[in-house]
Amino acid sequence: MLRVFSFGLLSSFAILMTGCPAQKPAAPTGSTNQSGTTISQNHLAATSSAQNSGIKVAFVSNNPAEFWTLAEAGARKGEKETGIQLIFKRPQDGTAATQKEIIEDLLTQGVKAIAISVIDPKNQTSFINEIAIRVPVICVDNDAADSKRRCYMGTANLQAGRSAGKMVLEAMPEGGKVAIFVGQLDPVNARERRQGVIDVLEGLAKSEGLRESPDGKKYGKYEVIGTYTDGVNEAKAKDNAADVLTRYQNEPNLCLVGLWAYNPPAILGAAADAKRLGKIKIVGFDEDNATLEGIKKGDVHGTVVQQPFEFGYQSVLMMTKMAKGADVAIPKNGIIDIPHREIRKADAAAFQDELKKLQGK
């Protein structure tokens, strides 16, 4: 459940062609301003509050994790700007069954468009297709690529994984052992991130999706000693990291990679307890405060963050249009990439400030 992903602003990727806005004259494509925030105020012109009042759209996350707090903040911003009525739901137990019930109830309530963070892509596809007949569906954060959803909006996890892999290379250029930590391996994002990391270690210039890449194998100079799951339990995550640190306590070149938000703090905690901070390398995902503090201190080499605020905001703008039957421009591959960003020691402090601003603190 707690697959907390992070927040991020614009990375070096260009988003001009991949943004979601419509190509109508009244609604020019989204653009990027200097500070790196995706700007979509333009939509306001097309969607005045009065016109939209009474129309309901819904956003259904995949679990109740904190990650979605930022997404909801973004979505609420969109709600305010468009005047549409937004229903934001989080399945408390993070199961596909609960999510299905929530979505069914929302359809009964008459929502006109729905954004879903898919929990089990393969098995939920037919269900998503059923919904897609009734209302426009977009997948956010987690995709069901084979379904009839209008588009996927989120981080390209393979690319995000590659960014993390790049950080492993930087942190441990001489090669060594790499251990990967994650809550569960079923979700696509976990597998794609892992794949991205491994592809970079192996020296592949481009990632071509998921492929066979087992644990316990050498990829270039790097051996992936294991992928350790914790069933989304922070305490277990910490125990896992502690066990790996114990098992490889004499290993000079050891890099621990945490794929979900709570993993890097768990690794940090275990390393601190084992008095191995600074002796091992840590690379993470997402923007947990402990992770960012660790980066500032130099205990964590870097983290890859995504932009949940944008997930929420952009999806509401898009759903508003869809709900009204307006044309929505969608790239051919159906993917609207909300780019991720790499945070290293130099960026950490500034990033924390940006984060605070978005959280309204």
Partner 1 sequence: MNRVLGVFAVVAIIYLGLMSSDPQARSPENHQNLERRIGEWGILTLGVGFVILTGGIDLSIGSVVCLSAVSFGLILENNGPPWLAFMGVLAMGSIIGLIHGFLITRLNLQPFIVTLCGLFIYRGFAQLLTQINFGTIGAALTTGWPENARLLRDSSRNIGLAHPENLAWLTTLQKGNFPLGEWTGIVWLDIPNPLILFIVLAIAAYIALECGAFGRRIHALGYNEQAARYAGIDTASHKIACYVICSTLAALGGILFLVKVPSAAPASAGNWYELYAITGAVLGGFSLRGGEGSILGLALGTAILPLLRSLVIFAGIPSDLEFMVIGVALLLGTVADELLRRGSMSGVRRAG
Residues that bind partner 1 (CB under 8 A): 1-2, 63-66, 68-69, 72-73, 76, 88, 90, 92, 94, 185, 215-216, 226-229, 231-236, 238-240, 242-250, 262, 265-266, 269, 273-274, 288-290
CB of 184 to partner 1, least distance (A): 9
CB of 46 to partner 1, least distance (A): 27
Q: Which is nearer to partner 1, 89 or 321 (CB)?
A: 89
CB of 292 to partner 1, least distance (A): 12
Q: Which is nearer to partner 1, 63 or 195 (CB)?
A: 63
Report residue 3 as tokens. Answer: 């697959």
CB of 205 to partner 1, least distance (A): 29
CB of 245 to partner 1, least distance (A): 8
Tokens 């609960």 correspond to 98
Q: Which is nearer to partner 1, 22 or 60 (CB)?
A: 60
Query: Cα-atom radius of gyration of the chain, to the nearest Å?
Result: 20
Q: Which is nearer to partner 1, 215 or 347 (CB)?
A: 215
Nearest CA-CA partner of 337 in 62, 13, 21, 1: 13
Rounded Cα gap, residues 197 and 163, in angstroms:
7
CB of 76 to partner 1, least distance (A): 7
Estimate to the nearest angstrom the gap between the alpha carbon of 51 and the chain centroid. Answer: 32
CB of 121 to partner 1, least distance (A): 18
To the nearest 5 percent, what fractions of the chain are helix, strand and coil?
A: 40, 20, 40
Whether residue 153 contacts residue 318, with contact meaning beta carbons closer than 8 Å, is answered with yes
Q: Which is nearer to partner 1, 64 or 175 (CB)?
A: 64
Which strand (E) or helix (H) includes residue 305? strand 302-305
Q: Which is nearer to partner 1, 7 or 88 (CB)?
A: 88
CB of 102 to partner 1, least distance (A): 15
DSSP state of 245: H
Rounded Cα gap, residues 196 and 206, in angstroms:
9
Q: Which is nearer to partner 1, 134 or 297 (CB)?
A: 297
Pairing status of strand 341-344 against strand 302-305? antiparallel
Other C-beta atoms closer than 10 Å to the C-beta of 56 total 17
Q: What are phi and psi of 257, to 5 degrees?
A: -115, 120
Q: Which is nearer to partner 1, 1 or 20 (CB)?
A: 1
Beta bridge partners of 39: 31
Cβ-Cβ contacts under 8 Å for 272 (sequence gap 6 or more): none
Rounded Cα gap, residues 265 and 81, in angstroms:
36
In terms of phi and psi (left: phi > 0; alpha: psi -120 to 50; beta: otherwise), the region of 254 is: beta
CB of 43 to partner 1, least distance (A): 22
Query: How many CA within 13 A on the CB side of residue 305?
Result: 30
Report residue 56 as tokens. Answer: 């309901």
- In the three-class reduction of DSSP (H, G, I as helix; E, B as strand; rest coil), residue 210 is classed as coil
Q: Which is nearer to partner 1, 259 or 328 (CB)?
A: 259
CB of 138 to partner 1, least distance (A): 21
Q: Which is nearer to partner 1, 25 or 231 (CB)?
A: 231
